[in-house]
Amino acid sequence: MVWNRKIAYINLSTRKIIRKPVPKTMRQLYLGGRGIDMYLLYNHVKPKIDPLSPENVLFIGAGLLGGIPCLGAGRCDVAAKSPVTGGVGDSNVGGFFGAELRFAGFDHLVVTGKSKKTVYIWVQDGEIEVRDAADLWGKDTVETQTAIRQNHGDEDIKSLVIGVAGENLVRFANVRTGMKNSGGRTGMGCVMGSKNLKAVAARGTMNLEFAKPEKLLDYCKEMNDMIISTRWARAQSRWGTMIIFSNTNTTGLIRTKNFQLNLLEDGQDLEPENIDRYSIGTAGCYGCVVHCRHRYVLKDGPYAPFFDEGPEYTSLGAFGTMVNVKKLETVLAANHLVNKYGLDTLETGGLIAWAMELYEKGIINDKMTGGLKLNWGNEEALFELIHQIAMREGFGNVLANGFRDAIAKIGKGSGYYAIQVKGMSNLHSDERPTPSFALGIATATRGSDHLRSRPAVDMYGLPEEFLQELYGGPVSSDYTSYDGKSRMIWWQERLYAVTDSIGICKFQTVFCAVHAPKWNEFSKLIQLATGMKFSKSQLMQIGERIYTLERMFNLREGFTRKDDKLPERYFKEPTPLGLPIAKGKKIDRKKFEIMLDEYYALHGWSKNGVPTKKALVKLGLDKEPTHMI
């Protein structure tokens, strides 16, 4: 049966490999993907270990529905203790690797220890080998994947790889597969580099046996029709996630010059339609009908000619608005550089924007930057800092350990200007006019995060009757209101936890489209694929269990309520630009604390954010760690 793929334990120190089935009990409690990875994280990572030590454990997990032909069901989860935050490390990546891993006979890989020499893991049709990677070390993320395919003589191999940033232990190095797909957040590429693990490659020809294959195929067609009928998916299919820029920048919801402004004036060249100058078509992930990424060619400029995919909305901010760059070509070139090096786009852009503001204010100077002029909009400095960070050279080496270490080294009040939570950089969005988004980034288990709980539908001004039915309680339709927004975050947290555990794309759920698939559709897909039955309430409880276990991991690592906070600038500096609904806004500290209390109560946590005994017993978490796998 499709749910009965194996889990493999791979010790890089001893080269010992153990294969086991994944118990059905684990499926019923955590489904797969992120859910089982979070169980493994809590059970296999010892408290207080150094994230870069051999004691850290790397987890790779395919979603329970990986391989079905709808909703981008090829996503994969990568987890470990984070070198960026010291808490939950977890990143979800699209493309084709997750499905290929399942075709090769495995749903989960648990990688322990550290290899004495550089290696890659080779997974093929139920077998696993640890192979020498000396010829791969030093290659960029695209070259590495190409070399693996050439070495095996098979163009259908899919790989999760790191670039030179991961090799150099840049704390926010990512893992990549394909031209564009990135497990960008929390530094999972750094963990791989610390283990001398260059790649995990998979090739599978094993069948997935579905419970009701014909009915599943029909329902997948229905799901694809359902998502592509939404206005959001049709717009995304044309412009990719860049389409978000058209609305947020006009309104005044985008960080510019780090955090000084909330709208990029004269930013017309970053509008999504301008990608047509460079695009040669679009592509999608496994099982996706939306095809949200542009394939583009840049013929001119310092790094041209080159071919790449994207850019995402995040790149428009990281290398556009936050550093006050107004040329799309510059964004495309920077996007290409971080992709090759294997760097998290958001962390890289956030740190560089922060450094530019510090340079403007005289907190850092030419002596500290090695003569690099970190003026706003300086694209040469932008490119050079990306290179320096990846190679750990010059001032880039100060930034390569992330915000916490850089703040400690620079001092001089520099921390005030850092837009980060729990040590992780925020998206280029400005949440001061949107309390729901602000609560989401403050409480997210990974650190500042737009993918753990963000209710983008809050921006639509939907009827309150509809919102109450959707979220199961009163929610204001005004996105500047604090009323009911804790409920929105709680609901979305559980939805996204399940989404990441079954291995489908968040953009094809209730993220930006209210009529997209959600609980009931997930339930039917699971039943037709696996034969297991889950009600809506059971799935919601699984989401609650996953999120609470992540909370427990962070608490064990020393996080408390004081870490569920926003940068002080959110409370002190009102937004200077934008439409009337967004201008002059800042977060009300008292209302934020009330919203946080409400959020904890909905979870069944104490006012200090600690899960109560009653909540743990209800979720079956009171005896963790249980080491069932």
pLDDT digits (tens, 9 = 90+) for 108-166: 999 999 999 999 999 999 999 999 999 999 999 999 999 999 999 999 999 999 999 99
Mean pLDDT of the chain: 97
Would you call 251 helix, strand, or coil by DSSP? helix
Report the predicted TM-score, pTM, of the whole model to 2 decimal places.
0.97
- The answer to whether residue 104 scores a pLDDT higher than 70 is yes
Domain 435-619 has CATH 3.40.50.620: no
Confidence of residue 304 (pLDDT cuts 50, 70, 90): confident
Task: Dump pLDDT digits (tens) for 521-545.
Answer: 999 999 999 999 999 999 999 999 9
Q: What residue spans in the chain does CATH classification 1.10.569.10 cover?
A: 236-421
Helix (H/G/I), strand (E/B), else coil: 484:
coil
Under the banding of pLDDT at 50, 70 and 90, the label for residue 302 is confident
Q: pLDDT band at residue 360, thresholds of 50, 70 and 90?
A: very high
Q: Report the chain's C-alpha Rg in angstroms.
A: 23
Close Cβ partners of 604 (under 8 Å, ≥ 6 residues apart): 611, 612, 614, 615, 618
At 20, list the tokens: 């086991």
Is pLDDT above 80 for 409? yes
402: left (phi over 0), alpha (psi -120 to 50) or beta: left
φ and ψ at residue 589, rounded to 5 degrees: -60, -45
Instruction: Report yes or no: 515 and 74 within 8 Å, Cβ to Cβ.
Output: no
Share above pLDDT 90 across residues of the chain, in percent, rounded to a whole number: 98
* Residue range(s) in the chain whose domain bears CATH number 3.60.9.10: 6-203
Average pLDDT over residues 20-47: 97
Asked whether the beta carbons of 233 and 188 are under 8 A apart, the reply is no
Residue 363 has pLDDT above 70, yes or no: yes
Q: What pLDDT, on a 0 to 100 scale, did the predictor assign at position 300? A: 86
* Mean pLDDT in residue range 70-90: 98
For residue 70, give the 3-state DSSP assignment: coil
Place of tokens 């979220």: 471
pLDDT digits (tens, 9 = 90+) for 558-584: 999 999 999 999 999 999 999 999 999
Count of CA atoms in the C-beta half-sphere (13 A) of 140: 15
Cβ-based neighbours of 291, under 8 Å, separated by 6 or more = 237, 282, 283, 284
Structure tokens belonging to residue 568: 């002080």
Cβ–Cβ < 8 Å for 364, 357: no
Residue 114, SS3? coil
Tell which residue, 405, 488, 356, 353, has the closest CA to residue 170: 405
In this structure, which topology does domain 236-421 adopt according to CATH?
1.10.569
Q: What is the mean pLDDT of residues 367-385?
A: 97
Rounded to an integer, the average pLDDT of 269-287 is 95
Give the pLDDT score at 124. 98
> Which sign does the torsion angle of CA 97, 101, 107, 111 carry?
negative
Q: Identify the band that residue 1 occupies on the pLDDT scale cut at 50, 70 and 90.
A: low
3-state secondary structure of 268: helix
- From the candidate CATH numbers 3.60.9.10, 3.40.50.720, 3.30.70.141, 3.40.50.970, the one assigned to the domain spanning 6-203: 3.60.9.10
Q: What is the pLDDT of residues 326-338, one digit of tens each?
A: 999 999 999 999 9
- Residue 5 near residue 105 (C-beta atoms within 8 A): yes
pLDDT of residue 301: 82
Pinpoint the residues of the chain covered by CATH 1.10.599.10. Answer: 435-619
Q: Among the listed ranges 95-99, 232-236, 351-355, 432-436, which one has the minimum average pLDDT value?
A: 232-236
State the Cα–Cα distance between residues 43 and 606, nearest whole angstrom: 23
